């Protein structure tokens, strides 16, 4: 097991000439895309307007903006506490957004990194957010990586949390979560307790179930509970969430600062992926935080310190 490291570790120098190699052993397997996916240079007709919260420390945070993207099945509410802390520590406004098909943002049948990046890029332009730091966890991490590689001018730097720029199968937990959520909806439950009992065989850990069940809403007092996220749409998108739209670091590279934060008990950013990260992001730094995949919620203080150190060092 890797030990937690809260000191930034520059790793780019030794990886610039390293070949890209597939993963092996118990790590997530490489998967071949079913078809080639285009990644356009500008926002398209599929763009969704994104819901968001602003945390600016009571108006005292006036520096360059930080935009925070959640992971699959999450929402801007998951990042409320860390956003308030970072706004206070860095005196920079934090924009916590809901990606499409999540939280209060609109639903759309297309859900892949092309359109997620389109949506977020349109959000930056709509709100005139310049020189922003983009922070993303898991699904959000791949989204900001894709944005940075497509158009490096879209941001000042990125912080990618527990994901890497590779095509790799999602952990088997995610399909089980989807199946459990489907069964909750089919049962038309009236209480959170009933929903939790149905979901338990598919998500053994109570914190994970509590996280998933934050998506339950009720349309009226007499209505059954339902998930506000389109469960079936996201189920069909799991392969796309494992994918990454860039494969050649000779054609797409982000030469600005990048921080990669990984959980010590997570397999999403293995040592084998570090050469790949270094070729796409030659100025990247790495921090290990004692946590599993849900780094921000499992160890918010470790994550906060890593982010503050990285951003203050760059000033």
Residues identified as active-site: 138, 293
What is residue 33's predicted lDDT score, i.e. its pLDDT? 34
Name which of 78, 106, 111 is nearest 214 in CA terms: 78
SS (H, E, C) 130-189: CCCEEEEECHHHHHHHHHHHHCHHHCCEEEEECCCCCCECCCCHHHHHHHHHHHHHHHCC
Beta-carbon contacts of residue 223 (< 8 Å; ≥ 6 apart): none
Query: Could you tell me if residue 274 is inside a domain?
Result: yes
- Weakly modelled stretches of the chain, pLDDT under 70: 1-45, 169-172, 315
Query: What is the C-alpha to C-alpha distance for residues 41 and 147, in angstroms, rounded to an integer?
Result: 9
Residues 160 and 266 in one domain: yes
Residues 106 and 224 in one domain: no
Query: Could you tell me if residue 10 is inside a domain?
Result: no
Residues 84 and 213 in one domain: no
Give residue-wise pLDDT tens across range 5-45: 444 444 443 333 333 333 333 333 333 333 333 344 344 45
Residues 190 and 303 in one domain: no
Q: Which two tokens stand for residue 264?
A: 């010590």
What is residue 173's predicted lDDT score, i.e. its pLDDT? 86
Which of 211, 236, 261 terminates a domain? The answer is 236
Burial of 309 per CB tally in 10 Å (0-12, 13-18, 19+): middle
Query: What is the C-alpha to C-alpha distance for residues 88 and 58, in angstroms, rounded to an integer?
Result: 9
Query: Could you tell me if residue 160 is inside a domain?
Result: yes
Residues 158 and 184 in one domain: no
Query: Could you tell me if residue 208 is inside a domain?
Result: yes
Q: Which two tokens stand for residue 174?
A: 């995610």
Residues 161 and 213 in one domain: no
Containing domain of residue 69, as a range? 65-167+251-313
Query: What is the C-alpha to C-alpha distance for residues 103 and 289, in angstroms, rounded to an integer?
Result: 27
What is residue 171's predicted lDDT score, i.e. its pLDDT? 63
Query: What is the C-alpha to C-alpha distance for residues 274 and 14, in angstroms, rounded to an integer?
Result: 10
Residues 74 and 118 in one domain: yes
Residues 195 and 120 in one domain: no
Residues 193 and 139 in one domain: no
What is residue 13's predicted lDDT score, i.e. its pLDDT? 36
Query: Could you tell me if residue 218 is inside a domain?
Result: yes
Query: Could you tell me if residue 35 is inside a domain?
Result: no
Secondary structure (3-state) at 214: coil
Query: Could you tell me if residue 24 is inside a domain?
Result: no
> The pTM is what?
0.85
Residues 69 and 163 in one domain: yes
- Number of structural domains (the chain) is 2
Residues 180 and 161 in one domain: no
Residues 151 and 179 in one domain: no
């Amino acid at each position: 097991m890797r030990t937690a490291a809260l000191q930034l570790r520059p790793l780019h120098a030794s990886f610039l000439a390293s070949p890209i190699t597939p993963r092996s052993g118990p790590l997530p397997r490489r998967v071949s895309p079913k078809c080639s996916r285009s990644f356009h240079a500008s926002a398209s007709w599929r763009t969704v307007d994104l819901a968001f919260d602003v945390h600016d420390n009571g108006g005292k945070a006036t520096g360059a903006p930080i935009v925070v993207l959640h992971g699959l099945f999450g929402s801007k509410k998951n990042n409320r506490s860390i956003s308030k802390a970072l706004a206070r520590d860095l005196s920079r406004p934090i924009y916590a957004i809901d990606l499409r098909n999540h939280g209060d943002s609109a639903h759309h049948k297309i859900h892949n990194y092309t359109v997620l990046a389109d949506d977020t890029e349109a959000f930056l332009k709509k709100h005139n957010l310049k020189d922003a730091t983009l922070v993303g966890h898991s699904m959000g991490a791949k989204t900001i990586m894709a944005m940075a590689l497509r158009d490096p001018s879209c941001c000042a730097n990125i912080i990618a949390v527990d994901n890497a720029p590779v095509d790799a199968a999602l952990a088997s937990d995610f399909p089980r979560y989807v199946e459990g959520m489907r069964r909750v909806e089919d049962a038309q439950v009236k209480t959170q307790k009933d929903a939790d009992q149905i979901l338990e065989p598919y998500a053994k850990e109570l914190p994970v179930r509590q996280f998933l069940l934050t998506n339950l809403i009720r349309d009226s007092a007499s209505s059954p509970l339902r998930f506000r996220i389109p469960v079936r749409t996201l189920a069909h998108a799991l392969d796309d969430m494992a994918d990454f739209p860039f494969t050649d670091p000779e054609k797409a590279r982000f030469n600005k600062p990048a921080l990669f934060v990984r959980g010590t008990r997570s397999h999403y950013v293995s040592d084998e992926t570090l050469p790949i990260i270094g070729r796409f992001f030659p100025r990247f730094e790495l921090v290990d935080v004692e946590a599993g995949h849900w780094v921000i919620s499992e160890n918010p203080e470790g994550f906060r310190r890593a982010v503050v150190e990285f951003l203050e060092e760059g000033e």
